[in-house]
Amino acid sequence: MLSYRHSYHAGNYADVIKHIVLIEILEHLTKKENAFDYIDTHAGAGLYNLHSEHAAKLQEYTQGIGKLRRQDWPELASYFDVIASYNSDDNLSFYPGSPLIASNFLRRQDRSWLYELHPRDAELLLENSGKQKGVRVMYEDGFKGMEALLPPVSRRGLVLIDPSYEIKTDYGQVFDAIDSAYKKFPTGTYALWYPVVDRKNIDVLERRLIKSGIKKIQQFELGIAADQFGSGMSASGMIVINSPWTLKDKMAKVLPKLVTALGGEGGFYKCADLVGE
């Protein structure tokens, strides 16, 4: 269960869509002076060397962030600004994970709660994030940690849920975690990342969310190929609860361009309301 290392996959197309959504939500939260809490249930190591042995093995970033040029994406200026802040020149050597991306938007009054269960990644996460003000790194189960924190003292918050889905029960676990969290903190924003390896798992997750009574659910998905069981991840998406009003419009403009830039034959995108207000 603890074998997954994001260092093999950092900067791939799944990271691209995940982090574009993440930044849009964070920028919206910072428009108000009021403090907010950022909770990352599966934080990973925080920063990834794209020339490391792990990244070089699969080179997934070359089919993700490596295919995008800043000058072609003025609408993603904040995303490229964050990436540039971890690279000393125009060469792409490092890619920040969600904890470090979030740290670029946290203000003095905000708090970040980062959970990671892989022992080595938890150590790296502490090295990469632990010295920052307002950031707490926990070597604990992120679902249990999230449950204990909600509702946050600030009464404003973003929860990013990004498990590895190494086992099929993860799909059920993420629904149970969101369902429970929403009952405690219905005004929070929840961003759930998911991979499409077997579309049936996502169909079940969608149906459970639709029937849950949770309101204001949006879905954004980027497919690089038509669904094909047994051939690995062919699409990746984000399900967002209580998203900012700007997010759907932003993704409706960005996703078609991403399909053109990153998708292959059969590439597609989704940008839809699963449940209205």
Tell whether 166 is covered by a domain: yes
Average pLDDT over residues 175-186: 97
Tell whether 1 is covered by a domain: no
Tell whether 124 is covered by a domain: yes
Tell whether 221 is covered by a domain: yes
Q: What is the CATH number of the domain that holds 165?
A: 3.40.50.150
Whether the pTM exceeds 0.85: the reply is: yes
Provide the domain limits for residue 200.
Answer: 6-275
- Show which residues are catalytic: 162
What's the domain count of the chain? 1
Q: How confident is the model at residue 130 (pLDDT cuts 50, 70, 90)?
A: low
pLDDT at 155: 96
Q: How confident is the model at residue 10 (pLDDT cuts 50, 70, 90)?
A: very high
Tell whether 84 is covered by a domain: yes
pLDDT tops 60 at residue 1? no
Tell me what the pLDDT averaged over the chain comes to.
94
pLDDT at 57: 86
pLDDT tops 90 at residue 90? no
Tell whether 174 is covered by a domain: yes
Tell whether 199 is covered by a domain: yes
pLDDT at 56: 83
Average pLDDT over residues 248-273: 96
DSSP state of 112: E
Tell whether 21 is covered by a domain: yes
Q: How confident is the model at residue 175 (pLDDT cuts 50, 70, 90)?
A: very high
pLDDT tops 90 at residue 8? no
DSSP helix/strand/coil, 143: helix
Over the stretch 11-50, which tens digit does the pLDDT of each residue have? 999 999 999 999 999 999 999 999 999 999 999 999 999 9
